[in-house]
Structure 1
């Protein structure tokens, strides 16, 4: 059982003197943020109330009230005689890495979660107008609304991968699709090849299934080296499956070109390994469209997509594209956790895909500007950092001058800036010299965030920390 001491948690929480009363709410918010970004892992036993109160120099009543707030909001659970444990709202004991509520002026640069464009409310208006013709029916569509499956299939065909509606399963977001695919393709103890770094929630889903991870290092300074490492791992270990992101990888932003996809597909075919390909960022190209999907270069692979990043995370609409036999197996697995997806959201997704061209072009225009703003601000304020600009996606994968990512996360929190430590995106303790920064916020927020980040970096550089968090800037 993992535990955290009162002294260590107090260090992570920091000084609460700058917060307005009630103090218990500020403490609960700090602990909630620590759980959300992984610094307090899920399932960790929190220190006893009396011990934490002494470490923070607070009253025990304040800590008791903070723990109660965490339990009420789902960020902690209590077990009689065992203590209080970190958890996620409405989630399993080990759950997804999700954004914490931002209700105090904090800028969240830990999660790449764009706000909804104007096309989303319009799509829901269209969906409500379409809903009456579905109401006389039972409303259950286990593999997804036929109209939505057809539209998704059309988009794959347009991207160079011939697809029929029967080759599509609609899911509750990309993570649901990835988890369903891993459950279908893998058994406990089997090997899953993954890129390092990669998406934290996919790693957590694999661990939850008892899968053994086979990390292959992905270094943006030597992108070709990953292909060589992957070929070697596939040939020697022959893992059952691979979880890959060839389209603007999260967090590195790396795009695998056509030659690389052909080479990777050959290696997968030789080893008998099936790929689960996360294409969440595939349509968020900013410089030029990517090559056809990896599945176009070799049969049997599973493609996963979503509207969460291209439009809005609140939609919870994703999909899996595979051969018909695989889709039937995936649907059977998905039915264990959900009978069917909501009809209104799927109708809204249909409306969004019908108008996707203009909406995506407008989003790409905004993201190009924001990418440039954040990269310029970082290079100006933090010249010792390496700040490559990806050709697509939503994030910058920055190289730090030293292993300071975890320390920087803690220092930034005191300045009202929420970050995700580099090691969160890997399978061990590496990547502390890396920091992922999304450019999803408006330019003025990104400029302010870069200024706060520079202050936090100076604190780490000089071994200091502000006594309390300053009031939030009005622009935020």
Structure 2
């Protein structure tokens, strides 16, 4: 029995913009059907949405209706679509298949070097010691129901104290503990925006945040982040002219460029957001990874008088500690925290008590743990830069003052094609297009994390250089991310 059909329809121009030229390969219908099935697997095209009418898609692609009819027939045969006569054709997933992001997450580790995820690991001894320390405290919680939709009170207080120490006075009632920063963003999007609302986003930006915006059926409006950072006037004019409901920004060691937003720009953008009535969501997940400069003050601390009430700050321990520790938080006006906690209960009654106790143990130890982590990142950043200079001298980049990755310019639009070929050489990496808010751009860019050991980074760069020089020249291609962090 076919799943329940959605009323959503994928526009012909929208779908055509994600597909290759039908004239590129023959037979065109097989080439197009494969491309659509990959878009469904990668999540770029959602499940159970209606595909464009055959005549409309044919016109958008500049091909014959017979070709599109053959495409849809093949999609139905392979399980990627189902139809009812007179009602249309909807996307589907074949039995036994899983979306690529889920499938990649479930694949056991192999010999490939993973550069798709900019996420550091946690030293084993650190985790063991922390578990030993929190075990008695966990046992003390065993008599309680264990549900804490706001988060453990003591962890909320600890996060509030961190904000206060960094220059933004905060009380525990302004903090909600979440299962990571992505969870926090999803909650905020669900409460503060409705389908069809405009959301200002950066381009490039964090792919999972962009995907959350799309899945919430919001309309992203992009502003560029160049090698030298943000054009403040462009951001201000976009806020003034578009009047978006939300603005999602990564001001601290921006993912993927590594840029740090200047203090003057922060104040100007916040002032413009207050005037336009736009909520600002500041993602500070990478704030603590300051390698060459002091760690910045909270973004909301730069708001004009009373302006901080329109800022939601999200953060987590995924980048500073470990992604497996699913602890994040958001800081917002207390009344909004209450509404977000009420919304959370519908899908998540509360986070893991064990994870929260581990966070409560590790956060106060940052003074002894973080310096060593930052030193390792500096060493790895230097090793990656040296390897790129040696093996790929045609690439250019700016050394970021913090964060976890370099944003390289390849000199030609081949990053997705390189990512596709690099898998054959034992390297997983994602091209610049998956960080783009708009389709078909940033193909000249590549995010290269420096979270792995120096010798591993050198080997990864050597393999990518070999992939570039071996075989036929790379052709431009588009490819959606499988699993990016």
Interval containing the TM-score (normalised by the shorter chain): 0.7 to 0.9
- Is the counterpart of residue 335 in structure 1 residue 348 in structure 2? no
- 2:167 aligned with 1:175, yes or no? no
Corresponding position of 2:426: 416
Q: Give the TM-score normalised by structure 1.
A: 0.79
Work out which of the residue numbers 114, 139, 156 in structure 1 matches 2:120: 114
Q: Give the stretch that moved more between structures: 201-210 or 94-103.
A: 94-103
Cross-structure match for 2:75: none
Matched, 1:135 2:142: yes
1:215 has 2:222 as partner: yes
RMSD of the alignment, in Å? 3.1
- The residue that corresponds to 2:165 in the other structure is 158
CA distance in 2, matches of 1:260, 1:164: 27
Per-residue CA distance 1:372-431 (angstroms, 9 max, x = gap): 100111012111101211111111110111001111111111101111011101121100
Q: Take 2:154 and 2:95, find their aligned partners in 1: how far apart are those partners?
A: 38
Q: CA deviation at 1:133?
A: 1.5
Q: Give yes or no for contact 1:159–1:293 (8 Å, CA) kept in 2.
A: yes
Structure 2 contact 47–92 (Cα < 8 Å) conserved: no
Instruction: Say yes or no: does 1:308 pair with 2:318.
Output: yes
Cα distance change of structure 1 residues 100 and 380 upon mapping to structure 2, 3 Å threshold = farther
Match of 2:377 in 1: 367
Residues in 2 aligned to 1:361 and 1:97: alpha-carbon distance in whole angstroms: 36
Match of 1:54 in 2: none
The one of 278, 286, 294 aligned to 1:281 = 286
| Partner-residue secondary structure (3-state), 2:448 | strand
Match of 1:200 in 2: 207
Deviation, 1:289, is: 2.1
Helix, strand or coil: the match of 1:320? strand
Deviation at 1:269, TM superposition (A): 1.4
Contact 1:94 1:208 in 2 (8 A): no
Cα distance change, pair 441–94 in 1 and its aligned pair in 2 (3 A): closer
The answer on whether the counterparts of 1:407 and 1:460 sit within 8 Å (CA) in structure 2 is no
Measured against aligned partners, the alpha-carbon deviations of 1:352-371 in whole angstroms (never above 9, x if no partner) come to 11212211111101000001
Structure 1 portions without partners, runs of 5+:
13-30, 46-75, 465-476
**Which residue number in structure 1 is paired with residue 246 of structure 2?**
241
In structure 1, the residue matched to 2:61 is none
| 1:445-474 deviation line (CA, Å, top 9, x unaligned) | 00100100111122477459xxxxxxxxxx
Q: Which residue of 2 aligns with 1:85?
A: 93
1:351 matched to which residue of 2? Answer: 361
Instruction: Say whether 1:379 aligns with 2:386.
Output: no
For 1:377 and 1:87, locate their aligned partners in 2 and report how far apart those are by CA, in whole Å: 44
Match of 1:101 among 107, 113, 134: 107
Residue-pair matches, total: 410
* Aligned equivalents of 2:178, 2:110: Cα separation in 1: 33
TM-score (norm 2): 0.78
Match of 2:480 in 1: none
Residues 280, 309 of structure 1: 8 Å contact kept: yes
How much has 1:178 moved relative to structure 2?
0.7
